[in-house]
Amino acid sequence: MVSTAAPRVGVLALQGDVREHVRVLTDLGAEVTAVRRPAELAAIDGLVLPGGESSVIDKLSRAFGMREPVRDAIAAGMPVYGTCAGLILLADRITDGIAGQQTFGGLDVTVRRNAFGSQVDSFEVDLDVPALGEPPVHAVFIRAPLVEETGDGVERLAVLEDGRIVAVRQGALLGTSFHPEMTGEHRFHALFLDMVRDRGR
């Protein structure tokens, strides 16, 4: 029998655009928790890593005792969706991290931070994402990272016209360079919630 209960998901609430993700996930019918402590992580079935500053979230995750619990949850198969800085935090490798910067890892990709430049170099573009169907995804890139290399098990969900990779999926992990939560684009979050439901079956 398939459960009809609302998916229990969390947004890592150490820094970044937490409220925007909470709003989208709530609008999609999820039961959403702002996650700052290991006990809160243990009570959910899926986690969003928001945009923000990846090096700051990394440091705060260690200060709050969250680094190892999040790594363990990823290793145990918890569905996780990372946007922008969250994608960096999911990556196994960063090409231009600051000294001592660490990630949670789990996603077999190499990511370049701030690949598109500074805040003034932010841009918007419509992306074809076959996994989401029509219409195209209107994507906003703000100091965005770029996926430079992917491992064999990584699905490339979206690329720019020049072939650069900006959305990926590997098993229970989903990552986008851009911010769907800021444009009213809910399909990536809906896909994430489907991944959470699928794991619970």
Q: Is 181 a catalytic residue?
A: yes
Q: Is 155 a catalytic residue?
A: no
Cis before 145 (ω within 30): no
Which residue is catalytic, options 21, 149, 179, 189?
A: 179
Burial class (CB in 10 A: 0-12, 13-18, 19+), 70: buried
State the Cα–Cα distance between residues 56 and 27, nearest whole angstrom.
28
State the Cα–Cα distance between residues 183 and 142, nearest whole angstrom.
12
Q: Is 179 a catalytic residue?
A: yes
Which residue is catalytic, options 84, 138, 148, 149?
A: 84
Which residue is catalytic, options 21, 68, 148, 181?
A: 181
Q: Which residue matches tokens 């491992």?
A: 151
Q: Do 74 and 170 meet the contact criterion of CB atoms below 8 Å apart? A: no
Report the catalytic residues.
Answer: 84, 179, 181
